[in-house]
Amino acid sequence: MHDSLTSQQAYFHQAADILNLSQNMRVLLLTPQREIKVQVAIERDNGEIATYVGYRVQHDKSRGPMKGGLRYHPAVDAAEVLTLATLMTWKTAVVNLPYGGAKGGISVDPRTLSAGELERITRKFVDEIHDMVGPDKDIPAPDMGTNAQVMAWFNNQYEKFHGHQPACVTGKPVELHGSEGREEATGRGVGTITAATLAEHRQPIKGAKIALQGFGNVGSFAARYLYEQRAKIVGLTDMTGGIWNPEGIAIPELLDYAKTAGGVADFPGCDSLTNEELLAADVDVLIPAALGGVLTAANAKSVRAKYLIEAANGPVMPDADEILLAKNVVVVPDILANAGGVTVSYFEWVQNRQHFKWDLTHVRSQLDKIMADSFQRVWQLAQEKKVPLRTAAYVLGIGRVARATTLGGI
């Protein structure tokens, strides 16, 4: 079985044991509603035909329409999309949004495509799946390798079949039915959860040393938020390389630099740093905000951080999780830590359906409230049941889905 799928199911069963879920209920909850796999063929700019495979897995709809991102990445395959769709079901339940879970993607490296090619694969993908998604069925959003522009193309193509339907997709540009604050939302949520975790341990955020892996949509906004809270981001890595500055990296300058340089590598005034060095850095907080599966049994032993905040989806493998637990590292799981994105996606969907626009202050205050309340629910549950935060989050999320399933019947 695919590694990420096995690891996700291991976490599921830990919580299912605490919830006393029957074997039949476990099978029902783990079995996806629908798995879609389609051909996405386009003509490339040079006139050649290129064929890609697109996926959409609709995992569970017991709590509402299914919700989750669209990932354009070469590692996308059926197992990965199923894993991520399942995570979305628990994630929307942890923050109590009226949604189920889904995920999709195309197995492609978007950096190898021109803007026109990216637009064509997006429109072609919509042509193939439009009947199975929609505002009351399944609502895609950005994920790795996709952004507001891709969502705008998705929306436009969907509307060619179904008329005006801006709520068919979220994460759209603010100028085209998108929400204020959606782009920063996942990173801001990671920042607020980091602050709440430190506060619960009576450690001030001001001066806390942080190592961050990834400077994309999630990592860069998390860095900005934490910098504004006076934390010290001392280490940062991305696809171009890594930087280290024990005095704290100047994040506003780095944001400008990365825009032109294409990444963080060689940012002036910093030493260079490898990914492995970053994961083992002597810091208070480690935030993996890039790919899944980065912490394994092999490198978890060297983690020196006291807190690990999962900004990426599935960055810690179960055997690494056990090692971290034994070392008393507090791990805040993805389904809580990075739920800010889908939360503001929900606000966007609500605004689209009500034809009423919220301002940034309102979006931020509603997001901060949901993140703080959800953190407290998970934290209290962890104390009550004497379990790690991940198990508590899974118990909360899976418990809600199981109850909705039981109440609704099959």
As annotated, the active-site residues are 103
Nearest to 76 by CA among 112, 37, 131: 37
Part of the chain binding ligand GLU (CB under 6 A), chosen from 29-37, 339-347, 383-391, 399-407: 339-347
The minimum distance between CB 279 and ligand GLU, in angstroms, equals 22
The minimum distance between CB 314 and ligand GLU, in angstroms, equals 10
The minimum distance between CB 182 and ligand GLU, in angstroms, equals 8
Q: Which residues are 57's β-sheet partners? A: 35, 103
- The one among 170, 179, 197, 237 contacting ligand GLU by CB under 6 A: 170
Q: Which residues are 60's β-sheet partners? A: 101
- For residues 62 and 27, the answer to whether their CB atoms sit within 8 Å is no
Residue facing ligand GLU at closest CB distance? 69
Distance, CA of 228 to CA of 156 (rounded, Å): 37
What angle, 0 to 180 degrees and rounded to 10, lies between the N-to-C axes of helices 182-200 and 360-385? 40
Distance, CA of 171 to CA of 146 (rounded, Å): 10
Closer CB to ligand GLU, 157 or 170, in the complex: 170
Part of the chain binding ligand GLU (CB under 6 A), chosen from 20-28, 126-134, 337-345, 400-408: 337-345
Q: Which residues are 100's β-sheet partners? A: 66
- The one among 141, 300, 336, 363 contacting ligand GLU by CB under 6 A: 141
Distance, CA of 18 to CA of 309 (rounded, Å): 23
DSSP 354-388: HT-PPPHHHHHHHHHHHHHHHHHHHHHHHHHHT--
Q: Name the token pair of 29.
A: 């909850």
The minimum distance between CB 342 and ligand GLU, in angstroms, equals 4
Which helix (H) or strand (E) is 228 found in, with range? helix 217-228
The minimum distance between CB 127 and ligand GLU, in angstroms, equals 21
* 3 state SS of 200: helix
Closer CB to ligand GLU, 152 or 208, in the complex: 152
Distance of CA 171 to the CA centre of its chain: 13
- The one among 60, 80, 119, 143 contacting ligand GLU by CB under 6 A: 143
How many Å from the N-terminal Cα to the C-terminal Cα in the chain? 28
DSSP 249-295: --HHHHHHHHHHHSSSTT-TT-EE--HHHHHT-S-SEEEE-S-S--B
Distance, CA of 371 to CA of 188 (rounded, Å): 10
- The one among 105, 288, 315, 341 contacting ligand GLU by CB under 6 A: 341
The minimum distance between CB 313 and ligand GLU, in angstroms, equals 6
Part of the chain binding ligand GLU (CB under 6 A), chosen from 204-212, 317-325, 338-346, 389-397: 338-346
- The one among 345, 351, 352, 374 contacting ligand GLU by CB under 6 A: 345
Q: Site mask, ligand GLU, residues 67-86, x = CB under 6 A?
A: xxx-----------------
Contact set for ligand GLU, span 41-70 (CB under 6 A): 67-69
The minimum distance between CB 178 and ligand GLU, in angstroms, equals 12
Closer CB to ligand GLU, 67 or 232, in the complex: 67
Contact set for ligand GLU, span 346-375 (CB under 6 A): none
- For residues 385 and 392, the answer to whether their CB atoms sit within 8 Å is yes
* Size of site (CB under 6 A) for ligand GLU: 12
* 3 state SS of 7: helix
Closer CB to ligand GLU, 245 or 352, in the complex: 352
Closer CB to ligand GLU, 293 or 341, in the complex: 341
Q: What is the bridge-based pairing of β-strands 49-60 and 100-106?
A: antiparallel
Residue 307, classified by CB atoms within 10 Å of its CB into exposed (0-12), middle (13-18) or buried (19+), is buried
Contact set for ligand GLU, span 99-138 (CB under 6 A): none
- Determine if 310 is a binding residue for ligand GLU (CB under 6 A): no
Closer CB to ligand GLU, 192 or 345, in the complex: 345
Closer CB to ligand GLU, 36 or 325, in the complex: 36
The minimum distance between CB 141 and ligand GLU, in angstroms, equals 3
- For residues 391 and 14, the answer to whether their CB atoms sit within 8 Å is yes
Closer CB to ligand GLU, 83 or 245, in the complex: 83
- Determine if 342 is a binding residue for ligand GLU (CB under 6 A): yes
- What residues make contact with ligand GLU under the rule CB under 6 A? 67-69, 141, 143, 170-171, 313, 338, 341-342, 345
